[in-house]
């Protein structure tokens, strides 16, 4: 058998799927992907996926937002067009900083949120007008699909996945 075959095991319950993922990993079969209609808590850990580094990106993006806010307010309110607003001094940024805190906070959140969305789409390779890669339309409604790589063990793997509680097992030729 060639290595471009995969088996699609379809489950109708997330708890059965979790047990099947654990059994499949314990039996040293390679899980290519799991498709679910909603996020399943703990599935990433059960699949052995590395923890995400997106939180680091969020922190960096927040720092960039804070820096942009600080530079923007210093230039606009102190350097370029200083104004006497409510009798507050406009000679230095530090003297006015308490009034700038809300803007600093909002720009930090704005940059972190928007750049995180862009990062997520780029990391997930979700471009505009991209074709869906969902192998079975039922996984958007109420079924769960585990895609397992076949390596000269098609018969054994098919019966193994049936025994894990799969309601349907199909061998698919991947392109």
pLDDT digits (tens, 9 = 90+) for 128-139: 888 888 898 899
| DSSP state at residue 130 | P
Domain that holds residue 90: 54-123
Is the model's pTM score more than 0.75? no
Contact 1, 154 (CB under 8 A): yes
Residue 102 lies in a domain: yes
Tally of helices (H runs) and strands (E runs) in the chain: 5, 4
Q: What is the mean pLDDT of residues 42-54?
A: 91
Q: What is the dihedral of CA 120, 122, 127, 133, to 10 degrees?
A: -70
Residue 47 lies in a domain: no
Residue 65 lies in a domain: yes
Average pLDDT taken over every residue of the chain: 90
Contact 54, 116 (CB under 8 A): yes
Number of structural domains (the chain) is 2
Residue 138: half-sphere exposure toward Cβ, Cα within 13 Å: 13
């Amino acid at each position: 058998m060639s290595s471009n075959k995969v088996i699609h095991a379809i489950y109708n319950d997330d708890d059965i799927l979790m047990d099947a993922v654990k059994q499949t990993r314990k039996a040293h079969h390679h899980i290519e992907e799991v498709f679910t209609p909603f996020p399943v808590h703990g599935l990433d850990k059960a699949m052995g996926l590395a923890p995400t580094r997106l939180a680091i990106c969020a922190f960096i993006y927040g720092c960039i937002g804070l820096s942009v806010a600080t530079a923007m307010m210093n230039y606009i309110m102190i350097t370029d067009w200083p104004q006497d607003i409510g009798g507050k001094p406009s000679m230095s940024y530090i003297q006015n900083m308490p009034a700038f805190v809300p803007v600093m906070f909002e720009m930090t959140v704005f940059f972190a949120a928007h750049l995180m969305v862009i990062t997520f789409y780029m990391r997930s390779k979700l471009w505009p007008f991209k074709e869906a890669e969902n192998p079975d339309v039922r996984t958007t409604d109420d079924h769960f699909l585990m895609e397992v790589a076949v390596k000269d063990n098609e018969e054994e793997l098919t019966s193994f996945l049936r025994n894990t509680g799969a309601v349907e097992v199909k061998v698919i030729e991947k392109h």
